[in-house]
């Protein structure tokens, strides 16, 4: 079985590709930019997959990859992946997240034999405090550029199922952490600051509440979606841990696990951050027969160890 992973050199895509290769799947990835160092290369799996240079906005390219490599299943993860990046470059975010998803869906429709998972986000719910925790029936009310672009992808995928019968499922994950090269994200930025002997910098006031999931649980959940695809086809499902923490609680956990006696620098500059975002994920947990395996402390400890090895030049 051949699996295509768009966004294969990104954080989640790299870890997912590793797991697929380890399970014996043929893995193909579409890569827009050639970078000397990616999460995939740090994991040592860039030579174990087939990488095709190109853009998911190129319909002919996606069609060629599906046909040439006889792709059976797609994880569409390619995206402008952070709120900040989308705010700085809104057109790029909309092109990649919305139009890129439409292009992949259209390629699947033309191909006629490929199943697809589209990565949405818990951010599509925006901020509706009176409706927390969010269920799959909660209306989508994005408030930022990133949220809106992911909501477009989310809705387009379900429309392609309804109108064309396309076998597609949509996942709305909570915040994912683990070994990652994007230092704008909370967990890696705090860990690397401590390893460098610096005080971690928090852009917000540190009071935002989120669910956090260790990357291995995320990968396991993605694999369950493929294995039990019939339960999710045509639907969007929430996937979270059920455990929520404020940003400063996460920071405190990391500092404690690293025995770091430092105080974070709280800038309180990110005033447009959503105050609270967490979900009910029972629909997925029951249908997938899945539960997260790692507590927050366990996942953070493993992540810290991975960064220590990487910081010493030993790979992830």
Which are the catalytic amino acids?
146
CB atoms within 10 A of CB 280: 17
The one-character DSSP state at 29 is E
SS3 at position 237: strand
213, β-bridge pairs: 176
Chain-centre distance of CA 273, in angstroms? 18
Bridge pairing between strands 209-214 and 244-246: antiparallel
How many Cβ atoms sit within 10 Å of the Cβ of residue 274?
19
CA-closest candidate to residue 245, choices 282, 295, 200: 295
Work out the number of other CB atoms within 10 angstroms of the CB of residue 300: 24
Cα gap 35→46, rounded to integer Å: 11
Rounded CA-CA distance 186/203 in Å is: 9
Q: Can you list the positions of beta strands (E) in the chain?
A: 2-6, 26-31, 50-53, 73-76, 115-119, 168-173, 175-177, 201-202, 209-214, 236-239, 244-246, 265-266, 276-277
Quote the CA–CA distance of 74 and 72 in Å, as a whole number.
7
Do residues 232 and 169 make contact, with C-beta atoms less than 8 angstroms apart? yes
Element (H, E) at 254: helix 247-257
- Helices 215-227 & 296-311, crossing angle to 10 degrees? 110
User: Which among 268, 257, 262 is positioned nearest to 193, based on CA atoms?
Assistant: 262
């Amino acid at each position: 079985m051949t699996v295509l992973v768009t966004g294969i050199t990104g954080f989640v895509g790299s870890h997912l590709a590793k797991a697929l290769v380890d399970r014996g799947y043929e893995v193909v990835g579409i890569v827009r930019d050639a970078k000397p160092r990616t999460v995939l290369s740090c994991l040592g799996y860039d030579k174990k997959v087939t990488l095709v240079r190109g853009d998911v906005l190129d319909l002919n390219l996606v069609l060629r990859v599906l046909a040439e490599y006889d792709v059976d299943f797609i994880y569409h993860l390619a995206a402008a992946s952070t709120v900040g990046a989308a705010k700085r470059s809104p057109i790029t975010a909309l092109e990649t997240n919305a139009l890129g998803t439409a292009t992949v869906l259209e390629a699947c429709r033309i191909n006629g034999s490929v199943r697809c998972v589209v990565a949405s986000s818990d951010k599509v719910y925006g901020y509706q405090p009176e409706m927390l925790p969010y269920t799959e029936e909660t209306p989508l009310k994005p408030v930022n550029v990133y949220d809106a672009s992911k909501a477009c992808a989310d809705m387009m995928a379900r429309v392609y199922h309804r109108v064309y019968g396309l076998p597609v499922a949509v996942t709305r994950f909570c915040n994912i952490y683990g070994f990652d090269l994007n230092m704008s994200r909370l967990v890696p930025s705090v860990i690397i600051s401590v390893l460098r002997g610096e005080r971690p910098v928090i852009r917000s006031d540190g009071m935002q509440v989120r669910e956090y999931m260790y990357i291995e649980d995320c990968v396991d959940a993605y694999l369950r979606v493929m294995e039990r695809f019939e339960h999710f086809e045509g639907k969007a499902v929430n996937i979270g841990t059920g455990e929520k923490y404020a940003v400063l609680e996460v920071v405190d956990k990391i500092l404690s696990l690293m025995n770091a006696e430092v105080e974070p620098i709280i800038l309180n500059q990110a005033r447009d951050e959503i105050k609270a975002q967490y979900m009910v994920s029972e629909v997925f947990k029951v249908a997938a027969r899945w539960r997260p395996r790692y507590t927050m402390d366990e996942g953070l400890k493993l992540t810290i160890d991975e960064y220590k090895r990487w910081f010493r030049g030993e790979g992830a």
